[in-house]
C-alpha cells in the first residue's frame, strides 16, 4: 500500500527580479530536494519550522497540489497529484485538508457561517438529508469547542478571530481527512486563544488519528504540539527528528543559533546582555547563493567541505542532521525524513 | 533592579488618558483612564492582546491619532512640564525625535521608497535643526555615518534605497532615525515582530545598547511575553483599554496579582511543558459594548458578585506593584497566586 502522501525529492526554483529595469535574472531556490512521506495508518504530527523565506509555505503548497514543483513529484496514494483523474482528485481533496494562516481572509463576508460548512457537505455528498448535514455540522463545531447555536446563522464579522479559525478547523473535520496541513494556523490569533486552537489540533491527532503537518516559525508552539520537527534554512532541511531531541539538544549549528535566539519568558536569563558575535550583522538575512550548505557562510564551524551539499547523517535513531560535523554517522538512505519520525503512541 | 529602587526620577507622567474612537455604533474607549508613570532611563514593556489599546496609547503620546479617533481627556507631562496632549501642531513637531521618538512596527512601510537612506536621515537632521543652525552638508553626512556606526550599519548603506536593504537593516535604519536627535523617550511598537528571531535578538541588543548610551527611557509595546521578560525592567498589562497591572518584570512573571495577568503568564508556551495547552477562557471584549464593572469579569475565574457592578481602580498592592482588581481592594480576600 503506497503512503497517503509522499514528496519525492521535490524542488522549487523561483525566477525573477531585475528584468523590469534590465538587471540580471535571479534564481531563488525556495525548496531544494525535500522528501517526506505520510502514512495514513500510522499518524504523525510533524512541524515544518523555519524563518521567513526558508521555504516552508512553498513546501506546504506543493504538498497540497496547488503549486507545481520544479523537480521531483508529489504522490497521493502512489499517483502524481498532477495526473489525478476526477475521482482521484476528489478523494485527494477530501483526504488532505488545509488550514491557512489568516482566519479573516478565508471567508466571504456576504455569506453566513453556515455556507462555509454546508458547501463541502454538498460538494462531497456527505449527507443524505438536510437534517443529517446539520447534525454533522453541529458535531464538527462541538469537536472544536464551539457552540453551534452561537455560531450558525451568524456572519463572519460577528465572530472573533479565534472562533473563525476554529470554524475552518471544523470545516476541515467535516470531510474526515487523513491529513491536515496547517500553515501558521495560530500566528494571527492572540496568545490567550492560541492554546485553545492548538489543543484542538492535538485532540484531532490523538483521538481521531489525523496526521498533521504544522507549519510555523514559532518553535515554542511546535514543541508543545508536535512529535517530529523539520528545521528548514534557505530551502534546505538542516535537521529533522523528534521534537524533544531537536529542540532540547540541537545538533545542526543553525538549529543551535535559532534556539538560542528565542527570548524565553524568564526574566534575567541573559538573552539581551549576552554578546553575540558582531560579525557582518547586517548581512544576516541576505539571500544565499551556494551549491553547498546554505548555512556555511554564517556557520562558526564551517569547513572547506561545506562547499558541497551535505547529505543527511543519521546521528541517532530519531534524528537526521544535514551537516558534515556528523559525517561519522551513517547517511540516511533514500532521504525520506519519515524514517526518523515517531508515530502516535498507541 | 536598580531602576526600581532608590532615586527614580519621573520622565513622563500620564494621568487619566482617554482616547476614543467615534463609530456609527457609538464611542469606543480604546484607551480608558490610563495612569502611568515612566522613569528616566528605564525599559518599560506594555503588553496586551490586539485591541487592548497599547498602540493607540503610544500614538496618542506622539499625537498621531487620526479621525475618527481623538484624545478625549488626560495629560501626559514630561519632566519639564510640557504636556504632550496639549501641544499645538508646531510644538509637537519640535518635540518629536528631539524628546520623544518612535521606532515603528513595519520598518518596510516607514521609509520613503524613492529616497536614499542617507538622504532621509539628513532630511531629518535638517528639518529638526534649531532655526538658523542647519549644519552644512559635510557635517550632516558625518552625523549620518556616526548614527549608522551606532546602529551597526556600514557607511555604504547611506547610498542605498530601502528596497535594497534586508528587513533587519531597514529596522536598523529606522532606529538610526529615531535616535538621531538624542531623544529621552523612545517608543518602540513591536519593532521586531516582522523579523526572524536571530535578527530580532540582534536588533533588541542594539536597542538596549543605545538606550544605555543615551540614558533614554524605552517604552516597548508588544505581545511577545518572552521578549518582554528579556528586555523590560517594568511591565504594564493592558486589557480593553485599561491598565490592569503594573510591576517589576520579576513580579509580573513570578508573582502576578491580577487574574488576567495570571492567566496570561500561565498561557505562555515554553520548552518545559509538552502536550499541555492553557489559554484564557472566553472571548475578548467588544469596546463598543463593554461589560459593566470590571472589564475582565465575564472571563475571570475568580470574579465575585461585586465585579459586575463596581469598577476597580489601579492601586498599589506591594512596593512598585499596582493592580486594578476588587479582590485586592479587600485585603482579606487577597487571592493566592
Closest CA to A212 of A168, A236, A177: A177
Q: Look up residue A31 and give its three cell numbers.
A: 525548496
Which residues of chain B neighbour A264 with C-beta distances below 8 Å? Answer: 226, 229-230, 270-271
Mean pLDDT of B199-208: 92
Mean pLDDT of B102-124: 88
Give me the pLDDT at residue B47, please. 94
Q: Do B268 and A199 touch (CB under 8 A)?
A: no
Mean pLDDT of B60-78: 94
The band of B276, judged by pLDDT with boundaries at 50, 70 and 90, is confident
On whether any CB of chain A is under 8 Å from the CB of B106, the answer is: no
Residue A328 above 80 pLDDT? yes
Give me the pLDDT at residue A29, please. 85
DSSP B269-281: --SS--S------
On whether any CB of chain A is under 8 Å from the CB of B286, the answer is: no
Q: Is the pTM of this model over 0.90?
A: no
Classify A197 as helix, strand or coil.
Answer: helix
List the single range of A247-261, B5-19, B167-181, B247-261 with lowest mean pLDDT: B5-19
Which residues of chain B neighbour A285 with C-beta distances below 8 Å? Answer: 166-168, 195-196, 199
On whether any CB of chain A is under 8 Å from the CB of B249, the answer is: yes
- Name the closest residue on chain A to residue B227, using Cα atoms: A263
- Name the closest residue on chain A to residue B230, using Cα atoms: A267
Name which of B226, B261, B272 to mutate to probe chain A: the one with the most chain A Cβ atoms within 10 A of its Cβ.
Answer: B226
* Phi and psi torsions of B241, nearest 5°: 90, -5
Q: Do B153 and A282 touch (CB under 8 A)?
A: yes
Give me the pLDDT at residue A276, please. 57
> How far does the CA of residue B251 sit from the closest CA of chain A (Å)?
10
Mean pLDDT of B332-337: 46
Q: Look up residue A102 and give its three cell numbers.
A: 489568516
Alpha-carbon separation of residue B172 from A51, A100, B200, B209, B232 (angstroms): 19, 31, 11, 13, 20
Give me the pLDDT at residue A279, please. 45
Q: Do A266 and B229 touch (CB under 8 A)?
A: yes
Give me the pLDDT at residue B318, please. 86
Measure CB to CB from residue A265 to each of B166, B270, B277 and give the nearest one: B270
DSSP B65-125: --TTEEEEEEEEEETTS-BGGG--HHHHHHHBTTTEEEE-S-GGGTS-TTS-HHHHHHHHH
Name which of A52, A161, A228, A284 to mutate to probe chain B: the one with the most chain B Cβ atoms within 10 A of its Cβ.
Answer: A284
pLDDT in tens, A143-181: 888 888 888 998 888 887 778 888 988 998 898 899 999
Measure CB to CB from residue A265 to each of B157, B208, B226 and give the nearest one: B226
User: What percent of chain A shows pLDDT beyond 70?
Assistant: 91
Q: Look up residue B261 and give its three cell numbers.
A: 495577568
- Secondary-structure class of domain A1-226 per CATH: alpha beta
Mean pLDDT of A8-34: 76
Distance CA A220, CA A259 (A): 10
Residue A90 above 80 pLDDT? yes
Q: Do A220 and B167 touch (CB under 8 A)?
A: no
Closest CA to A104 of A188, A181, A192: A188
Distance CA A251, CA A321 (A): 7
Closest CA to B181 of B255, B119, B105, B94: B94
Which residues of chain A neighbour B208 with C-beta distances below 8 Å? Answer: 272-273
Residue B93 above 50 pLDDT? yes
Measure CB to CB from residue A282 to each of B169, B196, B269 and give the nearest one: B169
Q: Do B264 and A191 touch (CB under 8 A)?
A: yes
Give me the pLDDT at residue A334, please. 77
The band of A24, judged by pLDDT with boundaries at 50, 70 and 90, is low
List the single range of A212-226, A243-257, B101-115, B239-253 with lowest mean pLDDT: B101-115
Give me the pLDDT at residue B337, please. 44
Is the sign of the CA dihedral A43, A200, A224, A180 positive or negative? positive
Measure CB to CB from residue A192 to each of B49, B169, B196 and give the nearest one: B49
Measure CB to CB from residue A284 to each of B168, B249, B277 and give the nearest one: B168
More confident residue, B247 or B164: B247
Mean pLDDT of A131-145: 89
User: What percent of chain A shows pLDDT beyond 90?
Assistant: 50
Q: How many CA atoms lie within 13 A of B167 on its CB side?
A: 18
> How far does the CA of residue B228 sit from the closest CA of chain A (Å)?
8
Measure CA B11 to chain center: 15
Measure CB to CB from residue A272 to each of B197, B230, B279 and give the nearest one: B230
Q: Do A248 and B271 touch (CB under 8 A)?
A: yes
Domain locations in chain B? Answer: 233-269+278-337
pLDDT in tens, A273-296: 776 555 444 455 555 566 789 899
User: What percent of chain B shows pLDDT beyond 90?
Assistant: 69
* Residue indicated by cell numbers 524568564: A266
Measure CB to CB from residue A272 to each of B169, B208, B268 and give the nearest one: B208
The band of A189, judged by pLDDT with boundaries at 50, 70 and 90, is confident
Q: Do A258 and B198 touch (CB under 8 A)?
A: yes
Classify B40 as helix, strand or coil.
Answer: coil
List the single range of A14-18, A233-237, B11-15 with lowest mean pLDDT: A14-18
The band of B334, judged by pLDDT with boundaries at 50, 70 and 90, is very low
* Residue indicated by cell numbers 507545481: A68
Which residues of chain B neighbour A268 with C-beta distances below 8 Å? Answer: 249-250
Q: Tell me the sheet residues that pair with A319.
A: A241, A316
pLDDT in tens, A224-272: 999 999 999 988 999 999 999 999 999 999 999 999 999 999 998 888 8
Q: Do B230 and A257 touch (CB under 8 A)?
A: no
Q: Do A282 and B201 touch (CB under 8 A)?
A: no
Distance CA B332, CA B329 (A): 9
Q: Annotate A28-97 with three-state secondary structure.
A: EEEEEEEEEEECCCCCCEEEEECCCCCCHHHHHHHHCCCCCCCEEEEEECCEEHHHCCHHHHHHHHHHEE
Domain locations in chain A? Answer: 1-226, 231-264+287-346
Give me the pLDDT at residue B7, please. 65
The band of B176, judged by pLDDT with boundaries at 50, 70 and 90, is very high
Residue B247 above 50 pLDDT? yes
Measure CA A34 to chain center: 13
pLDDT in tens, B27-58: 999 999 999 999 999 999 999 887 889 999 99
Closest CA to B193 of B104, B102, B267: B104
Residue A208 above 80 pLDDT? yes
Q: Do B253 and A285 touch (CB under 8 A)?
A: no
Amino acid at each position: 500500500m503506497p503512503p497517503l502522501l509522499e514528496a519525492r525529492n521535490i524542488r522549487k526554483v523561483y525566477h525573477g527580479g531585475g528584468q523590469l529595469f534590465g538587471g540580471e535574472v535571479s534564481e531563488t531556490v525556495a525548496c531544494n530536494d525535500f522528501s517526506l512521506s505520510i502514512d495514513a495508518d500510522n499518524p504523525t504530527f510533524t512541524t515544518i519550522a523555519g524563518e521567513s523565506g526558508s521555504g516552508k509555505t512553498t513546501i506546504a503548497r506543493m504538498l497540497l497540489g496547488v503549486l507545481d514543483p520544479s523537480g521531483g513529484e508529489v504522490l497521493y496514494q502512489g499517483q502524481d497529484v498532477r495526473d489525478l483523474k476526477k475521482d482521484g482528485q476528489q478523494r485527494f481533496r477530501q483526504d488532505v485538508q488545509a488550514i491557512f494562516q489568516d482566519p479573516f481572509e478565508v471567508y466571504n463576508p456576504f455569506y453566513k457561517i453556515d455556507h462555509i460548512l454546508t458547501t463541502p457537505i454538498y460538494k462531497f455528498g456527505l449527507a443524505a438529508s438536510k437534517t443529517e448535514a446539520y447534525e454533522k455540522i453541529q458535531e464538527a463545531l462541538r469537536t472544536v469547542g464551539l457552540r453551534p447555536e452561537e455560531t450558525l446563522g451568524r456572519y463572519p464579522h460577528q465572530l472573533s478571530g479565534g472562533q473563525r479559525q476554529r470554524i475552518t478547523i471544523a470545516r476541515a473535520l467535516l470531510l474526515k481527512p487523513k491529513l491536515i496541513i496547517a500553515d501558521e494556523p495560530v500566528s494571527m490569533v492572540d496568545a490567550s486563544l492560541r492554546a485553545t486552537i492548538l489543543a484542538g489540533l492535538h485532540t484531532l491527532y490523538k483521538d481521531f488519528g489525523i496526521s498533521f503537518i504544522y507549519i510555523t516559525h514559532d518553535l515554542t508552539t511546535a514543541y508543545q504540539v508536535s512529535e517530529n520537527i523539520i528545521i528548514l534554512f534557505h530551502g534546505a532541511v538542516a535537521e529533522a527528528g523528534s521534537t524533544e531531541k531537536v529542540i532540547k539538544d540541537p545538533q545542526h549549528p543553525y538549529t543551535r543559533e535559532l534556539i538560542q535566539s528565542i527570548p524565553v519568558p524568564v526574566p534575567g536569563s541573559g538573552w539581551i546582555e549576552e554578546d553575540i558575535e558582531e560579525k557582518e550583522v547586517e548581512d544576516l538575512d541576505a539571500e544565499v547563493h551556494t551549491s553547498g550548505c546554505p548555512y556555511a557562510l554564517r556557520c562558526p564551524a564551517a569547513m572547506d567541505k561545506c562547499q558541497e551539499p551535505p547529505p543527511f547523517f543519521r546521528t541517532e535513531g530519531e534524528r537526521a542532521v544535514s551537516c558534515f560535523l556528523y559525517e561519522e554517522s551513517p547517511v540516511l538512505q533514500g532521504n525520506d525524513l519519515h524514517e526518523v519520525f515517531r508515530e502516535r503512541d498507541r | 533592579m536598580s531602576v526600581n529602587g532608590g532615586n527614580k526620577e519621573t520622565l513622563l507622567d500620564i494621568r487619566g488618558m482617554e482616547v476614543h474612537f467615534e463609530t456609527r455604533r457609538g464611542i469606543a474607549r480604546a484607551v480608558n483612564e490610563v495612569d502611568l508613570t515612566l522613569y528616566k532611563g528605564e525599559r518599560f514593556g506594555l503588553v496586551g492582546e490586539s485591541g487592548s489599546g497599547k498602540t493607540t496609547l503610544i500614538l496618542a503620546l506622539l499625537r498621531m491619532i487620526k479621525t475618527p479617533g481623538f484624545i478625549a481627556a488626560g495629560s501626559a507631562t514630561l519632566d519639564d512640564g510640557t504636556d504632550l496632549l496639549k501641544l499645538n501642531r508646531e510644538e509637537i513637531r519640535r518635540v518629536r525625535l528631539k524628546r520623544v521618538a518612535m521606532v515603528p512596527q513595519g520598518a518596510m512601510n516607514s521609509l520613503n521608497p524613492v529616497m536614499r537612506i542617507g538622504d532621509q536621515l539628513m532630511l531629518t537632521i535638517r528639518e529638526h535643526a534649531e532655526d538658523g543652525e542647519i549644519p552644512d552638508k559635510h557635517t550632516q553626512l558625518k552625523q549620518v555615518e556616526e548614527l549608522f556606526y551606532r546602529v551597526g550599519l556600514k557607511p555604504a548603506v547611506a547610498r542605498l534605497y530601502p528596497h535594497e536593504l534586508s528587513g533587519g537593516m531597514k529596522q536598523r535604519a529606522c532606529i538610526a532615525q529615531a535616535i538621531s536627535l538624542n531623544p529621552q523617550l523612545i517608543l518602540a511598537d513591536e519593532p521586531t515582530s516582522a523579523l526572524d528571531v536571530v535578527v530580532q535578538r540582534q536588533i533588541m541588543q542594539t536597542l538596549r545598547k543605545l538606550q544605555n548610551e543615551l540614558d533614554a527611557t524605552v517604552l516597548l509595546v508588544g505581545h511577545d511575553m518572552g521578549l518582554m521578560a528579556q528586555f523590560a525592567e517594568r511591565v504594564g498589562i493592558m486589557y480593553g483599554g485599561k491598565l490592569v497591572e503594573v510591576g517589576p518584570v520579576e513580579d509580573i512573571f513570578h508573582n502576578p496579582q491580577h487574574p488576567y495577568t495570571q492567566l496570561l503568564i500561565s498561557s505562555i508556551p515554553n520548552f518545559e511543558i509538552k502536550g499541555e495547552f492553557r489559554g484564557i477562557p472566553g472571548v475578548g471584549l467588544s469596546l463598543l459594548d463593554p461589560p459593566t464593572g470590571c472589564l475582565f469579569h465575564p472571563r475571570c475565574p475568580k470574579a465575585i458578585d461585586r465585579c459586575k457592578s463596581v469598577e476597580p481602580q489601579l492601586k498599589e498592592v506591594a512596593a512598585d506593584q499596582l493592580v486594578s482588581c476588587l479582590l485586592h481592594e479587600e485585603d482579606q480576600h487577597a487571592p493566592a497566586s
